[in-house]
């Protein structure tokens, strides 16, 4: 049996990490964060794949392709977290674990960031831990997969 696959999806402007608002997002690059996730995956026995796009449709297509090819999704959708009902719908159709991830704590920021349209179709949200969040998300995905709990009641109600 091969190791489970966890696909990390990174949304718009995350390619600018390390330069964009370092007081909010830190100085580590997206490659640094994906490297942490990949290393955490090695430790817990999952294969980590990654895709970053500044285009909503490309992220939605990645979720569609993940059906049957990935066991879990970790989604840092950036600003699409608060606006993309299309991404919400794609994630709702994914049968594996979905974890929403944020470097910062959206609840402690501007009011428009307080509402997530991704959270209702996610098993859980990890926010505010900076780069550590990537490791925590991989570990959480693996534990949920080990417990054979890809769906929780909240996510099931969204289908």
pLDDT in tens, 30-41: 999 999 999 999
Range 5-156 classified under CATH 3.40.50.920: no
- Mean pLDDT along residues 98-126: 86
Q: Which of 25, 33, 88, 134 is catalytic?
A: 25
Beta bridge partners of 6: 48, 72
Residues forming a β-bridge with 75: 9, 100
Instruction: Check residue 128 and give its pLDDT.
Output: 92
- Residue 49 backbone class (left: φ over 0; alpha: ψ -120 to 50; beta: rest): beta
Q: Are the C-beta atoms of 150 and 144 separated by less than 8 Å?
A: yes
Q: Is pLDDT larger for residue 57 or for residue 109? A: 57
50, 102, 114, 134: which one is catalytic? 102
Active site residue 102: yes
Among this protein's residues, is 134 annotated catalytic? Answer: no
| Angle between helix 132-146 and 30-44 (nearest 10) | 30
> For residue 108, what pLDDT is reported?
67
């Amino acid at each position: 049996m091969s190791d489970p696959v966890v696909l990390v999806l990174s949304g718009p402007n995350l390619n600018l990490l390390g330069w964009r608002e370092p007081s909010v997002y830190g100085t580590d690059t997206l490659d640094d964060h994906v490297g942490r996730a990949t290393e955490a995956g090695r430790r817990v026995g999952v294969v980590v794949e990654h895709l970053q796009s500044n285009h909503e449709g490309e992220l939605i297509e990645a979720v569609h392709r993940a059906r049957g090819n990935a066991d879990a999704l970790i989604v840092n959708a950036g600003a699409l977290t608060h606006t993309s009902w299309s991404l919400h719908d794609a994630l709702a159709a994914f049968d594996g674990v979905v974890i929403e991830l944020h470097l910062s704590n959206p609840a402690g920021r501007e009011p428009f960031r307080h509402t997530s349209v991704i959270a209702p179709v996610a098993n859980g949200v990890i926010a505010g831990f900076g780069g550590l969040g990537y490791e925590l998300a991989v570990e959480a995905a693996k534990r949920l997969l080990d417990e054979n709990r890809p769906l929780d009641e909240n996510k099931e109600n969204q289908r």
